[in-house]
Structure 1
């Protein structure tokens, strides 16, 4: 079929292609955000909306922070950036890496910086495979991931996705070969899969500590510890995707700390700058990095790097952002907000039959609707009520407001969800 054979009229629209969208469903009804302050954003058509998702899980310190704008301005007036290839680096990237090493969930790490979470996933998966190739164990290439997993949409992230709609349509079962999925919470199934595939063929197991896009799924008790044990017993690397959970979202700086696991690689992004600059990266354990630091002409080179890896302005923003987290004690504040959110969602589930399930992990919540209710219709109704949520897999509503939100705003948000759900159920 050629473009001339496509049935139906082609809709004209803005030049910007909407991301992750059935385009005809959103054209003409897009919400264009032009301003943000605190936990609220404003649209070009005059709406003031509570940002119940913190953008895409990232606006942890809220919108419109002048100190972060000032940090970017000051850095750009000194040096916008300089690359970090070979002998060259820049002072801000060096400073940020040292700061991150001091709070890392991986002891004695090296830090690879890049531009975001999808970048970080590609690096981590490549590095896991590179590690085993360097050790002469060429068969260890397979990456195991979980059902409903989301790890960004670069080539590796697409390949290890546990959401089938993010994997389909590219001409092969997996853009990068040697990937396998396991069920959501079943550690025994992980062990069986390792036995079936063969540990000699598996480079790493990757998991989000709390799944985000897959429906806000916290780990069942003991699950992450069991996966870690399987990795250790079978000489498989453990990668934690902390792009959402890192930098305080779970009430500790990293979910690895909350759940008591010691990964070999940890990816991060969103919360390192609260979205004020595009930045991500990977914490790399000594088990992996030391071989690349041996004083020998035979030491291998990791052939990875990007123009904006260690971007000086992004690093300056991250450094100031980490100050804000500390100065305003926002990570312990998340633990308080988790209690408020859990209380409110438990009450919602008790009162409203149209709510099938609620889940909370840190200041992350998911409200799963009863079968037959459309989550997208509920989130549209929420906008009418002045609140932003997102429909996730399984008819689930996303809850992840900024850390600076008030208890009363959380209560109001959940009350609005209740009204929107009831309205949709009664249509």
Structure 2
């Protein structure tokens, strides 16, 4: 941590995201380039990217075919908006492809610039749906304890991590939100009864909690939650910003867990981070009233300048090609099996590991209280590996899908050795 006030005040102009600024000034890693599953710092360190950036670099870094897709599109048309009568060809093509891949039958696609945008749109659309239906009291949005749904107004308001909601002058930036327990569905039913199902618009949940500490759903949890929503006429919104596009070994986690949501948000993996793009898959129950050929058909007032950005859509199309052509979803299933075996063995031999959790190619290593995950993550960088400390003193593991067997084994071994060293 910097101890010089002057050093902090004289820091670079860029305000670091999600950071206690004095703790990072002078210690920031300047990433200069990427090479497959590795990133390279400005001072020449080559680091295995064990988190795929922020869960997004699924096909690895700096792939020329995606750069070529962007350049080719920019030479024709960088973008054009999709408001009113206008639309660009890339947005149309991508939306058709996403609808065909969607776990929601006959879905429409709302495009925007990222996951936080998508959550805001999905929550607004859920409330708009019930207002249009004339059920004006259905406004409350429920989310789960320890949830993370981005940091726009709705995402901040429905966060299950209290520190992301604090400091804004109220319990919730957007009123009428509440949290349900992480796993306890009986308590969830009680809370719905307490609030009143006639006041609840939607439940938002990540299929696998990411930033909250990598918490896969308990067996049958999501199917039962979907049943509870259906029984109480509450919309189910799945936040697949992390899990979408292969992280669980299926295109969407909804398929793996056998649920069909009303709305599904996506981002990150749709372009593997090569361009900022996100969106919402919308079920027919929600979109059809806005499409009827009727003088009274309402408008849903959504849209942003870069919604359906043509270059971002072209990059997404090429990214989806890579996922298919290189059979990366089956590879994820193989990597998941290896991660399970490796982390189970780690937990068995290392007394500083409290618990390991794996679902898809996504893992969490929860450490005992006497070993600080922040210090371990810093020490891992020194030996060439990137992890990330999450809530619950947990280390994040979510490497790119192109990770080799040897790289995964070396990563787990490095975690083992680093945790052991920090425990001494």
Q: Does the residue aligned with 1:366 lie in a helix, a strand or coil?
A: strand
Q: Does the residue aligned with 2:147 lie in a helix, a strand or coil?
A: coil
Deviations along 1:114-136, whole A, 9 cap, x unmatched? 00000000000000000000000
Hey, what does 2:117 align to over in structure 1?
119
Distance 1:101 1:179 in 2: 30
Deviations along 1:331-380, whole A, 9 cap, x unmatched? 11000000000000000000000000000000000000001221110001
Written as runs of structure 1 = structure 2, the 5 A alignment for 1:262-411 is 262-411=260-409
Distance 1:30 1:302 in 2: 42
Q: Does the residue aligned with 2:174 lie in a helix, a strand or coil?
A: coil
Hey, what does 2:131 align to over in structure 1?
133
Q: Does the residue aligned with 1:87 lie in a helix, a strand or coil?
A: coil
TM-score by length of 1: 0.98
Unmatched tracts of structure 1, length 5 or more? 1-6
TM-score by length of 2: 0.98
Hey, what does 2:179 align to over in structure 1?
181
1:419 aligned residue (396, 417, 420): 417
Q: Please say if residues 11 and 24 of structure 1, whose CA atoms lie closer than 8 Å, have aligned partners that are also in contact.
A: no
Distance 1:136 1:26 in 2: 50
Distance 2:187 2:155 in 1: 22
Distance 2:47 2:341 in 1: 23
What is the deviation of 1:8?
6.2
Q: Does the residue aligned with 1:297 lie in a helix, a strand or coil?
A: coil
Unmatched tracts of structure 2, length 5 or more? none
CA-based RMSD: 0.9
Written as runs of structure 1 = structure 2, the 5 A alignment for 1:59-78 is 59-78=57-76
What is the deviation of 1:410?
0.5
Q: Does the residue aligned with 1:227 lie in a helix, a strand or coil?
A: helix
2:209 aligned residue (204, 211, 233): 211
What is the deviation of 1:12?
1.7
Q: Which runs of 4+ in 1 moved over 6 A?
A: none
Written as runs of structure 1 = structure 2, the 5 A alignment for 1:244-263 is 244-263=242-261
Distance 2:156 2:103 in 1: 26
What is the deviation of 1:149?
0.0
1:166 aligned residue (164, 167, 178): 164
Distance 2:210 2:417 in 1: 24
Distance 2:9 2:91 in 1: 45
Deviations along 1:306-335, whole A, 9 cap, x unmatched? 000000000000001100000000011000
1:229 aligned residue (221, 227, 230): 227
Hey, what does 2:190 align to over in structure 1?
192
Hey, what does 2:79 align to over in structure 1?
81
Q: Count residues with an aligned counterpart.
A: 420
Distance 1:24 1:72 in 2: 37
Hey, what does 1:144 align to over in structure 2?
142
What is the deviation of 1:297?
1.3
Hey, what does 2:98 align to over in structure 1?
100
